Structure formats: structure tokens, C-alpha cells
Amino acid sequence: MRERGARIRRVELDEGQRAPDPRDFDAVVVMGGPMGAYEDDLHLWLVDEKRRLRDAVGAGIPVFGACLGAQLLAAALGARVFRAPTPEVGVLAVELTADGRADPVTAELPARFATLQWHSDTFDLPAGATLLASSPAYPHQAFRVGAGVYAVQFHLEVTESMAQEWAAERRAR
């Protein structure tokens, strides 16, 4: 995004920062975290974040969510988010659906590709969403709502050094 000249404002709600009005931005990107999108009682800021995401979608603002961001987006749009039977951690394949192979954003991806997965939660698709990618353990890996709202359960943003850091943190627990 920086390479394309985007001005980025990073907001960390889990660190106590207030959620800005999404209408003040050209797009919203929501990333991951260790909490569940359904843990409103433990993380009060989740309630406001989901409301702001719903407002952004309603206002036609492009939104991208990754991992927890996808789960929050699904919840904000009325879908159920819940603990899955088994965690999905590691470099694992996802497969594009027929809609994913035809989508203007995901069509350039291979039909099957490796992704970094690091989650224990999953979600139902929001009403009106288009399923773009799936995996055997987690059938809802990527979805689109309308023309400008995309969500992926996996991590596109993780560099090799970030993955090594996450693995070291997990081993230390």
C-alpha cells in the first residue's frame, strides 16, 4: 500500500486507541489478533470495532479483513463466529471456489495455493457474501461482500521473520 502512495493510519484498539470514523478514510484494513471476535465481554473494544465495520460497509467504503479481521467483519455483518473443532496452524493449502476463480481480485491466484494459517476460530458466511476460497478443515477461507469488501481467514501479510517470531512466542507458552 505504501508503494502505491497510500497514507496509512495505524489504530490499535486492543491497546486502548479509539476507533476512528471509517467515513474519514478511503479504505479500512482490519488485521489479526489472539482474541475471538465473540469475546465482547473480555475485550469491550470489539463491540465498537464491529459497529464501525458495519458502518464502513454500509457507507460503501472498501474493507479488507485478515484472520481476526475476517471474523470481525463476518460478525459485523450478522454471521456467527465460533471456536472450530481443531486449530489450523501452519502453511496449508486453500482452494479457490468457482466464484473465486472468476472474482476480479482473486482470479489471478492459482486455483490452489499455500497460505499461513494461525487460528482456532471460524465463521458462517454473512448474508449475501460470496465464498472465494475454502480448505478441508475450514470451509470459509475467503469471502467477498459486494464489490469492495474482502476477507481472508489466512495471513497474507506475514513475512518469514514474523512467522519465526510467532512460532518462537508459541513455543515459549
Residue 171: pLDDT band with limits 50, 70, 90: low
Which is higher by pLDDT, 13 or 164? 13
pLDDT band at 173 (very low <50, low <70, confident <90, very high): low
Q: Which helix (H) or strand (E) holds 142?
A: strand 142-145
Residue 80 in this model has a pLDDT that exceeds 70: yes
Of the pLDDT bands very low, low, confident and very high (cuts 50, 70, 90), residue 170 is: low
- Asked whether the beta carbons of 119 and 82 are under 8 A apart, the reply is no
Strand-pairing partners, residue 19, are none
Contact in structure between 104 and 148 (CB atoms under 8 Å): no
Q: Residue 4: helix, strand or coil by DSSP?
A: helix
**Following DSSP, what letter does each residue of 21-48 receive, concatenated?**
PGGGSS-EEE---SS-TT-TTT-THHHH
Strand order in the sheet with 63-66: 28-30, 63-66, 149-152, 142-145, 130-134, 81-96, 112-123
| Mean pLDDT across 87-104 | 94
| Mean pLDDT value of segment 8-17 | 89
How is residue 67 annotated by DSSP?
T
* CATH class assigned to 2-172: alpha beta
Residue 78's pLDDT is 97
Cβ-based neighbour number of residue 33 at 10 Å = 17
Residue 134: band (very low, low, confident or very high) from pLDDT cuts 50, 70, 90? very high
* The pLDDT of residue 126 is above 70: yes
How far apart, in whole angstroms, are the C-alpha atoms of residue 6 and residue 29? 12
Q: What is the pLDDT of residue 4?
A: 86
Q: How far apart are CA 152 and CA 147, in angstroms?
A: 15
Mean pLDDT of 51-61: 95
Which range among 6-10, 25-29, 94-98 shows the weakest confidence by mean pLDDT? 6-10
- Beta-carbon count within 10 A of 113 CB: 13
What's the pLDDT at 105? 95
pLDDT tens profile 60-78:
999 999 999 999 999 999 9
What are the residue boundaries of the structural domains of the chain, listed by start? 2-172
Are residues 157 and 31 in contact, defined by beta-carbon separation less than 8 angstroms? yes
Distance CA 50, CA 73 (A): 7
